[in-house]
Amino acid sequence: MTLAEILASLFPSGHAVAVQDGLVTGSGPFEGGTMHVVGIDGDTPLGVEGAATLSRAVLDAVRTGDRAPILVAVDSDSQRMSRRDELLGLNECLAHLAKTLLLADRSGHPTIGLIYGHSAAGAFIATALATRVLVALPGAEPSVMDLPSVARVTKLPLDKLQEMAKTTPVFAPGLDNMVATGAVHVVLDPARPLAGQIRDVIDGMQPGDVRDRLGAERGGRPVARAVAAAVIDQARLG
């Protein structure tokens, strides 16, 4: 689905969501109230200015005090790979964007990521993965890091990583692997109205981050939950 089709399915009576320079901001009527929308469209890389614009939009939504859902729609490239952005502190800007979404969640706004295209690396982490729940549409292409990049970082041979990725989802990009690890909660049905499906997702939200539990149940991250619990227990004892 394109962004226009997504918005039409979410807001059949119309909306005030606009796209400028690949950045998505606005709102629409939802379940008798409002849904705020931010995001990235058109496989756009996320740079300093984009992160600042989206952060401002999220904070503006929090300042309304309406506790309305915030949808983060994502079809992006990775973060913008430029010397200028790096010198201006792109890492801090991406971290700030992620923290605004965490603040929104703690302020009572259900935050839902929706990946419908590509996304990778810092742009993916600071938007889609920073929401309470991440959902996807068929055909989405999420990845934290592609395997050639993993090979450069870990110094492991690419062919070995490719073999490991066949049985270990945490080593592999792609929608199926993100579902298996619990990063993506559910894949939506584009043939059905999205508004009702998003409402079901919001109604099913639970306190805290349940991705480790989903990853264990789905077999994609079999030990992450136990390790996290052990770390918490040790911290409490200390």
Which pLDDT band, with edges at 50, 70 and 90, does 14 fall under? very high
Any domain includes 121: yes
Taking residues 98-115, what's their average pLDDT? 97
Any domain includes 95: yes
Any domain includes 128: yes
Which pLDDT band, with edges at 50, 70 and 90, does 95 fall under? very high
Any domain includes 182: no
Taking residues 5-28, what's their average pLDDT? 96
Condensed to tens digits (0 to 9), the pLDDT of residues 129-152 reads: 999 999 999 999 998 887 888 888
Containing structural domain, residue 131: 3-137+188-205
Q: Which of 8-17, 81-90, 210-219 is modeled with the greatest confidence?
A: 8-17
Any domain includes 223: no
Condensed to tens digits (0 to 9), the pLDDT of residues 201-236 reads: 999 998 888 898 999 999 888 888 889 889 989 999
CATH code for the domain in which residue 81 is found: 3.90.226.10
Other CB atoms within 10 Å distance of the CB of residue 202: 17
Any domain includes 175: no
Any domain includes 23: yes
Q: How many domains does the chain have?
A: 1
Condensed to tens digits (0 to 9), the pLDDT of residues 154-206 reads: 899 999 988 888 888 876 788 998 999 999 999 999 999 999 999 999 999 98
Any domain includes 102: yes
Residue type, 97: L
Condensed to tens digits (0 to 9), the pLDDT of residues 20-35 reads: 999 999 999 998 899 9
pLDDT averaged over every residue in the chain: 93
